[in-house]
Structure 1
Amino acid sequence: MNNKWLRVALSALSLALAVALVVYLPWIVHTLTGAKVSWHEIGREFGRLSWHTVLLMTVLWLASLWAYTFVMTSALPGLSHLQALTLNGAGSAVSNLLPFGGAAGVALTFGMTRGWGFANRPIVVYTLVTGIWNTLFRFLLPAVGIAGLLIAGKAANSTVANAGWAGAASIVGLVAVVAAALYWDRAAAVLSRALDGLLRLAPRRFRPAEHAASAAIDRLRRDTTEIIHRKWAGLSLGMIAFLALQCAIMACCLVATDSYPGPAETVAVFALSRVLTSAVITPSGAGIMEGGVAALLIGAFGQPASGATAAAILFGFWTYTIEIPWGALALGAWSLLRRRDSRSMEDRRTPARAQTT
């Protein structure tokens, strides 16, 4: 009971912090960049949005949700795209309302997918595979953002450019090592030996049991290797399409608020926004993402404060806020259909019982 009320208190505190960060966003932007902006100016930017722009953003948002269903159906064979859309909406709503909401989202995933007839093992593999793919692409996004800026010639000098390329290459290299370990047995064995060697350098009291790292990697690979071998193309293309459509939403937000800095800069801003959603102090980094995006647009790319801040809030709406009512509708529809199916099954059993009697 104490843990339950502690989680409720932490959730309420986290949501309150997210709301406070958004409410005081103009002050935060001024503190980070020195630029002055007011809610009146931000509201004026929102008032300039045309219905054509809103319709385009809506279409891109729905398309991004549909694109992600290909990741989900690849990770859990037998899952339909409509089920994936429902599962994604409900899970996102839970994750967006709770700090560390991923755990609650996993519990909801188990409940919904078991109700559709899936066994525990495929659900566990699905959770692992989608988690790995999301993490790998989240690591890759900063490298893509850095490369985009360097290709566009946005580095201050050659030293900064060289450091940027080195950083991007390091990120890509790390992701490549992890991907190879997941796909090839020999690469997994090499990585396991390397990890064991590093662990031997640690003080004895901090070392795990012998071969613990190798065993953990082996268990992970046994659970995921079959899906990755057969479905890596669907997983990757679905994730790329999802992120590309979300980046297009970011571009629309920037264009609509007259704060579009260019294609390379837009990719960099989008990459930063996705990294900041990992800040677990608020659900999905709400409030933190908006502040970071606005600060980058104003401080690094010289965009007007009112437009940049409005664009950050608008993008937060399409990637966070709207998912809460959308997920509530998905969860409600699933609950109603589940209740209807239960009643239908009970009705079918009743005549059989009467006949037996």
Structure 2
Amino acid sequence: MKNKWLQITLSVLSLALAVTLVVYLPQIVQALTGKKVSWAEIGAEFSAMSPGMIALMTAVWLASLLAYTFVLTNSLPGLNNLQGLTLNAAGSAVSNLLPFGGAAGVALTFAMARSWGFANRPIVVMTLVSGVWNTLFRFVLPAVGIIALLMAGQVPNRTVASAGWAGALSILALVAVVAAALYWDRAAALLGRGLDALARLVRLKFSVSEALDRLRKDTAEIVRARWAGLSAGMIGFLGLQWLIMYCCMQATGAYPGLAQSIAVFALSRVLTAVVVTPSGAGLMEGGVVLLLTSAFGVDTAAATATALLFGFWTYTVEIPFGGLALGGWALLSKNRRTRRKSLETQP
């Protein structure tokens, strides 16, 4: 009971912090950048948007949700895209309301998938595989952002450029090593020995190689057979989310260039991993504004409006949409149970 009330308290505090960060975003922006911006100026940016742009944003957002369903359908054979969309929407709603919503999201995933006739084991595998693919691509994004800026010449000098290339390539190499270990036995054995050696240096009391081996055993069949579909789904999803960012920048006049927009998008996705607030809400917006204004010279009001718009399409709107998906699933499940009981009671 104490843990339950502690979780409720932390959730309420986390949501309150997220709301506070958004409400006081103009003051936070001024503290970070030294530039004043008001809600009236931000509102003017919103009111200038055309109906066509709003419709385009809506279409791209829906397409991004559909793209992610291919990650889920490739993780759980037999799952269809409508079911994947329902799982994604409902899980996102839970994650967006709770700072540590992963556990609740997994429980909800199990309940929904089991109601469609899937056994526990395939659901566990789906949760592991989709989680691993999300993590791998979350690591790739910073490297992509760095490389985009380097290729566009957005670095102050050669020393910084060299450091940027070294960092980006190191990140990509790390992701490649982990991906290879999930696919090839020999790569897994080599990585396991290396991780065990590192664990001994820092005096960890468990075998990292055994944990990696268990993960591989759980996911090997799906990874080997469906890695291309999983990767295509993630690339499509992230590409469409960047397109949402691009639309937000164009709508507010905050577009700083292709490479810069990729870097801003990469930062925004990294900040969503900060669980101080649900999905990094409030923190993501502040980081986007800071990068746009300080690094790329974008007008403060336009940058703030862009961050809030992007937060709406990747966070806020998912809550009511997920609530509708969850309500639809609950209603259909209830109807199925009612029909089943009715058939069981018939003579």
TM-score by length of 1: 0.96
The equivalent residue for 2:224 is 229
Runs of 4+ in 1 over 4 A off after TM superposition: none
In the other structure, the counterpart of 2:11 is 11
Letter in 2 for 1:157: N
Q: Does 1:334 align with 2:329?
A: yes
Output the CA distance in 2 between the equivalents of 1:198 and 1:11: 35
1:243 equivalent among 226, 229, 238? 238
Q: State the Cα deviation string for residues 210-259 of structure 1 (Å, max 9, x = none).
A: xx222111110000111000000100001000000000000000010011
Residue aligning to 1:289: 284
Other-structure match for 2:297? 302
Where do 1:92-111 residues align within 5 Å?
A: 92-111=92-111
- Check if 1:140 corresponds to 2:140: yes
Measure, in 2, the Cα distance between the counterparts of 1:194 and 1:143: 23
- The SS at the match of 1:260 is coil
**Corresponding residue of 1:70:** 70
Identity of aligned residues (%): 67
Matched, 1:160 2:160: yes
Q: Hey, what's the Cα distance between the residues in 1 that align with 2:281 and 2:191?
A: 36
1:36 matched to 2:36? The reply is yes
SS at the partner of 1:153? coil
CA distance in 1, matches of 2:337, 2:70: 29
Instruction: Work out the CA distance in 2 between the residues paired with 1:238 and 1:278.
Output: 20
Matched residue, 1:272: 267
Instruction: State how 1:81-230 maps to structure 2 within 5 Å.
Output: 81-202=81-202, 206-209=203-206, 212-230=207-225
Q: CA deviation at 1:21?
A: 0.1
Secondary structure of the residue that 1:280 maps to in structure 2? Answer: coil
Question: SS where residue 155 of structure 2 aligns?
Answer: coil
| Structure 1 CA distance for aligned equivalents of residues 209 and 243 of structure 2 | 41
Match of 1:316 among 291, 311, 317: 311
Larger Rg: 1
Give 5+ residue unaligned stretches, structure 2. none
Any gaps of 5 or more consecutive residues in structure 1?
none
Q: Spell out, residue by residue over 1:103-133, the C-alpha distance to the aligned partner (whole angstroms, 9 max, x if none).
A: 1101111111111111111111101100000
| Distance of 1:146 and 1:213 partners within structure 2 | 30
Q: Equivalent residue for 2:24?
A: 24
Deviations 1:6-62 (A, max 9, x none): 111111100000000001101111111111100110011111111000000000000
Shift of 1:65: 0.3
Partner SS for 1:154: coil
Cα deviation code 1:305-333 (max 9, x no counterpart): 00000000000000000000000000000
Distance in 1 (CA, whole Å) between partners of 2:155 and 2:26 is 28
Give secondary structure in 1 for the equivalent of 2:126: helix
- State the Cα RMSD in Å: 0.8
Shift of 1:195: 1.5
Instruction: Give the superposition deviation at 1:198.
Output: 2.0
Write the distance in 2 (CA, Å) between the matches of 1:300 and 1:48: 25
What letter is aligned with 1:337?
L
SS in structure 1 of the partner of residue 91 of structure 2: helix
- Note closer, same or farther for the CA distance 1:311–1:207 as it changes in structure 2 (3 Å cut): closer
Q: CA deviation at 1:2?
A: 1.6
CA distance in 1 between partners of 2:279 and 2:231 (Å): 23
Q: Which residue identity does 2:204 align to in structure 1?
A: R
SS in 2 for 1:79: coil
Count the aligned residue pairs: 347
**Structure 2 Cα separation of the partners of residues 239 and 341 of structure 1:** 33
Q: Normalising to structure 2: TM-score of the pair?
A: 0.99
